[in-house]
Amino acid sequence: MDSTVNPSRRAWLGACGAMASGLTLAHDMVAAEQNPAAQVTDRAASLKITALRAHWVGPVVYVKIETNAGISGWGDLKGVDPRPAKALVESLFELLDGENPTRIEYLWQKIYRAHRNIRGGAFLIHTLAAIDNALWDITGKLWGVPVYRLLGGPTRDKIRVYHTPKAIKVPPHGIYEHSGTPADIEKMLKAIQTARDKVGPDGAVMFDAHSAVPPATLIQLASRLQPTDLLFIEEPAVPGNIEVFKRLKEQIRIPLATGERDRTIWGVLPYLQENCIDILQPDCCHTGGITSMKKIATVAEAWYVPIAPHCTATFLGIAASLHVVSAIPLFLIHEFYPQNAGFVGTGLTRMAYEIDKDGYIGLPPGPGLGVEVDEKLIETEAAKPQKYRWPGAKLKDGSIADY
């Protein structure tokens, strides 16, 4: 077969190629104009932080971050002395002023690494949590979606909470010596049995040792219980020495949970590496906010450890924590005290929720955190004289005890 091409045919093919290229280019230009991705305007591009306001009411500092677009976000600062905490969050505004509030990870790192001698401490991390949650609130409001949509979307349809008729956590009912008497053990056992009678065999009972039941006494208590009597034992020991948790794990068959006083991924990592706890209990307001809590859940997932968040916050902290558990795979149950007047206050914050007969609530509303804040009432309450009383406890002999 002749491999040569007729000149006229060659010209015709070239013309067809040019025409095809032109049509392709024109098609691409039209497609680009019609492509939604090409038409998206980054509404956050010119957004800037303009102000930060902090209001001390009771045990909480309410933090409001304002922007040049009129969108504001709120967070609550709790779990530390509110007097220096208020001053610290106001000082940290110097690192936020003029920044884009949607650069949440960047701003978290900027604050966390701002001072090498205070990074990781309780005051910085609790304060950072209030700021972080407020930034997520702003970003969710900007795009008109609940925060959990920005975290990858929902992984569940509803959230199991306590206290409900189907889930009760039992406090230690006292401060205990370093080895217990029969009366000590019976008091705790009676409280556990009372809770079990209320929730039934298909309900959940948890025991919060609260670090107030020393290791030896907790071992004595656990020896009287079956592994399925409790969903978990919370705070079995004071954080700080991982060897204590390892010793307890070796001798107690009931699942152990802890984490409310451990901050960031670096604080919880030893528990996972040493396989000495079964459930992690990060507190969104204690561990650096939504940004940090999501990372903790991801790290724990690698060890197949679920989270059961500690939460004694206002509705701002409650909502922030609920948004995280809405978007993670391994979750057990969430602490939920919507009527806790000591933290929630008298109408200062509000969130829509409904608990069903099985002890579940729906996913948190939006946009943002989905919490209504009565700013005028907060300002009114903050204008009143505020007091702070240091907590603490003693044993019968007058020595200082954990509580």
Active site residues: 210, 310
Beta bridge partners of residue 168, listed in sequence order: 205
205: helix, strand or coil = strand
- pLDDT (0 to 100) of residue 24: 46
Beta bridge partners of residue 230, listed in sequence order: none
- Strand 49-57 versus strand 60-67 pairing type: antiparallel
User: Measuring CA to CA, how many Å separate 43 from each of 38, 69, 142, 376?
Assistant: 14, 10, 8, 29
Count Cα atoms within 13 angstroms, Cβ side, for 239.
17
Residue stretches of the chain with pLDDT short of 50: 1-5, 7, 9-13, 15-16, 18-26, 29-30
Q: Structure tokens of 355?
A: 């608990």
306: helix, strand or coil = coil
- Strand 372-373 versus strand 167-170 pairing type: unpaired
Q: How far is Cα 127 from Cα 78, in angstroms, rounded to an integer?
A: 8
- pLDDT (0 to 100) of residue 31: 54
- pLDDT (0 to 100) of residue 123: 96
**284 phi/psi in degrees, rounded to 5:** -55, -35
| Residues sharing a CB contact under 8 Å with residue 128, sequence separation 6 or more, in sequence order | 92, 108, 111, 112, 288, 289
Q: How far is Cα 136 from Cα 153, in angstroms, rounded to an integer?
A: 14
- pLDDT (0 to 100) of residue 109: 98
Q: How far is Cα 314 from Cα 371, in angstroms, rounded to an integer?
A: 10
Q: How far is Cα 381 from Cα 372, in angstroms, rounded to an integer?
A: 17
- pLDDT (0 to 100) of residue 7: 47
Q: Which helix (H) or strand (E) holds 60?
A: strand 60-67
pLDDT tens column, 330-339: 999 999 988 7
Choose among 147, 136, 146, 135: nearest CA to 65: 135
| Residues sharing a CB contact under 8 Å with residue 23, sequence separation 6 or more, in sequence order | none
* pTM score of the predicted model: 0.89
Q: How far is Cα 199 from Cα 206, in angstroms, rounded to an integer?
A: 11
The label of the residue with tokens 């020991």 reads: 237
47: helix, strand or coil = coil
Q: What is the DSSP string of 124-183?
A: HHHHHHHHHHHHHHHHHHHHTSBHHHHTT--S-SEEEEESBTTEEEE---S---SS--HH
Q: Which helix (H) or strand (E) holds 96?
A: helix 82-96
Q: How far is Cα 75 from Cα 104, in angstroms, rounded to an integer?
A: 14
Q: How far is Cα 269 from Cα 276, in angstroms, rounded to an integer?
A: 11
265: helix, strand or coil = helix
Q: How far is Cα 363 from Cα 147, in angstroms, rounded to an integer?
A: 11
DSSP annotation of 339 reads: T
Hey, what domains does the chain have and what are their CATH numbers?
49-145 (3.30.390.10), 150-369 (3.20.20.120)
